[in-house]
Structure formats: C-alpha cells, structure tokens
Amino acid sequence: MKNVFVVSDNILSPLGPTSQLNFDALKKAKSGIQRHEDKKLCAAPFYASLLSKNETDQKTTSAPFTRFEQLLIYSISDALNKTKVDIQDKKTVLIVSSTKGNINLIETEPFSEKLRERTALFTSAQMIASHFSHPNKPVIVSNACISGLLALLTGYRLLLSGQYENAVVAGCDVITKFILSGFQSFLAVSALPCKPFDAARDGVTLGEGAATVVLSVQKKAQDNILLSGGSVTNDANHISGPSRTGEELAHAINNAMHSAGLGPKEIDFISAHGTATLYNDEMEAKAISLTGLEKVPVNSVKGNYGHTLGAAGLIESVMTIHSMKENIILPTQNFSRSGVSKPINICSILQPAELRNCLKTASGFGGCNAALIFRKI
C-alpha cells in the first residue's frame, strides 16, 4: 500500500495566521475565546472565538470573494507556500470542507435564484479553484461536524486509489446569526467558555477559522507524518442527539486502527472532538473505553478555539500533527474535574510524550462519526 504523507499545513484563527503560531499559543494555554457584544449576531452578550475584522482584512484577498472564501484562499496559499506540491497539476485534487459556507448571505439579501447559486458550496469551491488555476473539479465535503475529518479521509482514499498524487484539503466556517441562533435554539451554547469533559460543562462555545492540510504520495514531498487509516460510521440514533452507548464511534475507532494495522496498545494519544456538551463528551468517553483506550492521554482544544464546525477536524488534526512533531501533549483548556462516567485519561497540563501513533475523532449531528490515525515514521 502507498504511504500518504502530510507535507504541509496551515491554521488561520484568532490565535494566529500560521500553524506554528497557533501551536505556540496553545503551549502557552492561550485561548481565542472572548466575550462579545455584537447585536448583528446576538441581542445578548456571548462567548465565542471570532476573527477580528481588521485581522481578516489583513490576511485576505478582495472581491468578488466573500469573507468565507477569502479565509480559505489565505489558508490554502500559506500551506502551498511551504511545499512543492503544485495545485495546478492535474494529479492534484482540491477538497473543500464546510458546514455552512456563505449561509450569512441569506441574512442580508432577498431570496433569488442568483442568491441560491451564490450560497451553494460548489459555487465557492469552483471560485477558489479558479483563483488558483486549479484544473480539476473540486470536491465538496459537508457532513456536519465530521466534515474536516471526512475531507481528509476522502483525500487519503483518492490518493490510495491512484486517481491523484496530491490532495489539498481545506476547511472553513464563519459564525453568523443563523449559526449562533441555531445552536442556541438547542440550548447547546454555554454561557461561559466551554469546559470539555469537565463536571461543570454545559455546552459548546462556537469559533471561526480556516485550516488546510496538504497530502501527497510523491517521493519528493515526503515528510515524517503519515495519514495511515480512517473510518466513518453513523449512529442511526437521532438527528441531533448522539448515541447513548458510544458503540458506533467505537466501531469507527476500531476500523481506523485496523486499517492502520494497529491495536489499542499502540495508540499514544487521542485528540477528541470534546465539544463540552453533556451528551457528546459522555458518548466519546464510552467509545474510548469500549475500544480499550481508557489509559491513553486524551485532549480537546475546543476550549482554545471553540467549535469551528467544518474547520474543526482540520484544525485539530494540524494540532495533533504538530504535537507529534514536538512530542508534546497539549492540555484541555478549562478542564478541572472529570464529568464523564467512564474513567479516561484527560490531559489538563502540558506534558512531554513520545508520540508515534495518534487517533483523531469527531462526531456530529445526524449521528455521524469519524476516526483517523496519524503515524510518525
């Protein structure tokens, strides 16, 4: 089987415009989450991790691109600048991950066929592809909060199939009134910065950002981190409520380990979804326990970034990759006392560790689950 290498990456977030700046910020326990008073988003004050307009303007291109598209273009450009992978090569595929895209346009413009087309994710992806003179039809992945991981897994499978030699996988979501009010309608938004896996957790904090991961099977692009396996499953339980047993996420984890040729004892670290909702964290803890990984160090970076939706899987994968490169496990921000029923090894402090094989998990509305394995060689 071919090796699929992670050859470059980027994160653009309130913590910085590059992956390294983001990783350095997390090592210092910095968080992008702040209290905001923006009546265009919500009548009452709320906590979120939002990019400032000034910061966005400095890092993005001009019209005709929307803010969502501009953030993606910046992230992709930064990642490409660090590698020899050519996005104009026919053997390169562009994959775009998002849950909402340009949904904010419906808040300010009357409905029309033109607006319907402009809010379509494929329209954004095609415009981005054209900006980079990309020769192929871009691939769209939009599957709730596993979108980022599913996009990576899609790229991985396309490379293994031989259809392409490189994959540029990018994800982004920006927070809008539509998105914030939707999560609030579920009573799922915390009144304070979120507390993943903590006994006092009471909901998510939303965040925005963009991230890109470049994958390749080309020898000239090889690095020391592989994407070596993955799996997707579905709970078939409820449109917004996760499995109560964790069995379906556990199935995805077991499948991912099997596809990477690994067993539970060979997993060194787990980057969890860790949204800080009562049910998601409980379900993840059960899945970790069911797969025999209860002693493996676990973290969630939602307390640093908030839940960045279609970018979350990519942002958290990049932080996992940099953790592997530096052999450091990042702490779970705002965690103090476990509030899940299964005893799992939640990291609350920065700690050194020899990281060879790492698991990344995600779950989302509709019962979707994803698990990926990253390996250092």
267-283 mean pLDDT: 97
φ and ψ at residue 190, rounded to 5 degrees: -75, 145
Phi, psi of 227 (to 5 degrees): -90, 115
In this structure, the answer to whether residues 134 and 245 fall within a common structural domain is no
Banded pLDDT at 240 (limits 50, 70, 90): confident
- Out of 221, 243, 277, a domain closes at 221
Query: What's the rounded Cα separation, in Å, for the pair 325 and 376?
Result: 8
In Å, the largest CA–CA distance within the chain is 56
pLDDT at 258 over 60: yes
Radius of gyration of the chain, Cα coordinates, nearest whole angstrom: 19
Task: Using a pLDDT cut of 90, give the percent of the chain over it.
Answer: 93
Structure tokens at 329: 């496990």
175-191 mean pLDDT? 95
> Which pLDDT does position 335 carry in this prediction?
98
In this structure, the answer to whether residues 303 and 339 fall within a common structural domain is yes
Number of neighbours of residue 84 by Cβ within 10 angstroms? 12
Q: How confident is the model at residue 222 (pLDDT cuts 50, 70, 90)?
A: confident
- pLDDT band at 56, cuts 50/70/90? low
Q: Which of 221, 245, 276 is the last residue of a domain?
A: 221
244 contacts 237 by C-beta, under 8 angstroms? yes
In a shared domain, residues 32 and 146:
yes
Judgement on whether residues 59 and 177 belong to the same structural domain of the protein: yes
Residue 200 and residue 281 share a domain: no
Q: Give start and end residues of each alpha helix (H) in the chain.
A: 19-27, 53-59, 67-80, 113-119, 121-131, 147-161, 177-185, 247-259, 278-290, 302-305, 312-326
CB 190 within 8 A of CB 281: no
Q: What pLDDT is stored for residue 220 in this prediction?
A: 82
Write the pLDDT tens digit of every residue in 128-156: 999 999 999 999 999 999 999 999 999 99
Same domain, 213 and 232: no
Considering the domain architecture, whether residues 59 and 182 belong to the same structural domain is answered as yes
Supply φ then ψ for residue 40, to 5 degrees. Answer: -70, -25
- Residue 94: give the domain boundaries: 5-221
pLDDT band at 303; cut points 50, 70, 90: very high
Residue 176 and residue 38 in one domain: yes
The one-letter code for the residue type at 119 is T
Same domain, 181 and 288: no
Do 332 and 231 fall into the same domain?
Answer: yes
Q: How many domains does the chain have?
A: 2
195 & 149 share domain: yes
* Pair 272, 311 in one domain: yes
Which two tokens mark 182? 């939707």
Note if the pTM is more than 0.95: yes
Give the residue-averaged pLDDT of 285-309. Answer: 98
Confidence band for 61, pLDDT divided at 50, 70 and 90: low
Among residues 283, 259, 263, 284, the alpha carbon closest in space to that of 272 is found at 284
Q: Looking at residue 154, what is its pLDDT?
A: 98
Average pLDDT over residues 296-319: 98
pLDDT at 60 over 60: no
Quote the pLDDT of residue 13: 98
Q: Which of 221, 241, 264 is the last residue of a domain?
A: 221
**Average pLDDT value over all residues in the chain:** 96
Q: What is the CATH number of the domain that holds 269?
A: 3.40.47.10
